[in-house]
Amino acid sequence: MNSLERPMPPLNGDERTTLESWLDFHRTTLAMKCEGLDDEQAAAASVPPSGFTLTGLVQHMAEVERNWFRRVLAGEQAPPIYDPQADPTAPDGGFELAEGTTLRDALSTWRGEIARAREHCAAFALTDTGRFMEQDVNLRWIYIHMIEEYARHNGHADLLRERIDGATGV
C-alpha cells in the first residue's frame, strides 16, 4: 500500500485551491485504501452486519461525483451508472455489486467521473450555481459537501481495509 502520492493541502491557499486540494486529498485517500487488493478482497463485506465493500464505495463515489458535478452543477442529462430501475440486475447506487464486478472497472469508472468533474468545475466560479431540489446550489457548497461525503466514506474504508488485511493508516 501507499504507492500513490497524496500531497498535503496548502496551509495558506486561496479558497478555491484549498477546497479543490482537500477534495483531491480525500479522493486519493479512497484510492489508497483500495491499493494492492484483489477483486475478492475489495468485494468483501468485512464489517458485518454492514454490506459495505471497498468496490461498492468506489462505485458509490462515482455516482456521487456524477450527480453533483454533472447533473446538479452542469445540468447534464447523465443517467445513473448503477441504476436498478433502468436495469434490474444493476446494483443500487453503487453500493451493491453486480456479478462480475471488478475493482479495476469500478476505479476506472470513478476516475472517469472525477476527470469529468474537474472539466466542469474549471468552467465555474465558486459562486456559480446549479439546481438541486428546485433550489440554487453554488459550487462552493458542492465542494464542501463532496469533502464531507468522502471523509465519511473514507472512515468506512479505513474499517473495511483493516478487517481485510490489517492495513491501517493513510
Which residue has cell 468545475? 121
Going by pLDDT thresholds of 50, 70 and 90, the confidence category of residue 88 is low
6 lies in a domain?
Answer: no
Q: Domain of 134: which CATH number?
A: 1.20.120.450
Measured in Å, how far apart are the chain's first and last C-alpha atoms?
A: 9
42 is in which domain, residue-wise?
22-165
Given a contact cutoff of 8 angstroms between Cβ atoms, the answer to whether 157 and 33 are in contact is yes
Q: What total of structural domains would you count in the chain?
A: 1
User: How many C-alpha atoms does 95 have within 13 Å on its Cβ side?
Assistant: 9
140 lies in a domain?
Answer: yes
Lowest mean pLDDT among 3-17, 29-43, 103-117: 3-17
pLDDT given at position 83 = 65
- Take residue 13 and report the three cell numbers written for it: 491557499
Going by pLDDT thresholds of 50, 70 and 90, the confidence category of residue 85 is low
Query: CA 32, CA 50: separation in Å to the nearest integer?
Result: 21
pLDDT in tens, 90-137: 545 778 888 899 999 999 999 999 999 999 999 999 999 999 999 999
CA 104 to chain centre: 14
